[in-house]
Amino acid sequence: MNARMTHPVAVLPDALKALVALSSAAETGTVPTTTHKLVHLRASQINGCGVCVDMHARELRHLGESDERIVGVAAWRDTPYFTDAERAALALAEAATRLADRPDPVPDAVWDAAADHFDEKELAGLLVSIAAINAWNRLNAATRQIAGAAWAG
């Protein structure tokens, strides 16, 4: 497997700075880092981004997460490993990643469950985090970047 091109953020360093700043801004609030990384892993699975699936699974392991939780992200609804708040964040990540899959991209039930667990600032952080990982996923998948590359976002 070979990448189609040099990673776009290596070609456009200002894009790297912008995406890193966006990701950093998303994670400055009170949403646990683990929740952000679970959301990143789930969106990356949906988008088929091998670079980010690999990276975020490794980050979760480094944060002390169990293999059951890391592997269970792909089937989070059917495993007992996640809190209600994490489940709400994962559902929000799925809906906000799969925007074209339903007439109402983020159904009220998904939004309300997230709002039950996260305040407005935390929701803002989660949404920006979801948007940022989707941007990374699209860059990586479109250019067929290789998991483990040093530049990976």
Is the pLDDT reported for residue 149 higher than 80? Answer: no
Maximum Cα interatomic distance, the chain, rounded to a whole number of Å: 44
Residue 148: the pLDDT is: 80
Q: Is 32 exposed, middle or buried (0-12, 13-18, 19+ CB in 10 A)?
A: middle
> Both tokens of residue 21?
């700043």
Task: Scan for tokens 């949403």, then name that residue.
Answer: 31
Each residue's pLDDT tens digit, 42-91? 999 999 999 999 999 999 999 999 999 999 999 999 999 999 999 999 99
Query: Across all residues in the chain, what is the average pLDDT?
Result: 95
Contacts of 5 (CB under 8 A, 6+ apart): 11, 143
Angle at 53 between CA 31 and CA 113, to 5 degrees: 35
Q: How far apart are CA 11 and CA 139, in angstroms?
A: 12
| Closest C-alpha among 49, 51, 71, 52 to residue 61 | 71
Stated pTM of the model: 0.95
Q: Which amino acid belongs to residue 46? A: I
Q: What domains lie within the chain, and their CATH numbers?
A: 8-142 (1.20.1290.10)
Q: How far apart are CA 123 and CA 73, in angstroms?
A: 20
Residue 73: the pLDDT is: 98
* Residue 1 pLDDT level (bands cut at 50, 70, 90): confident
- Across 66-88, b (16+ Cβ under 10 Å) vs e yields eeebbebbeebeeeebbeebbbb
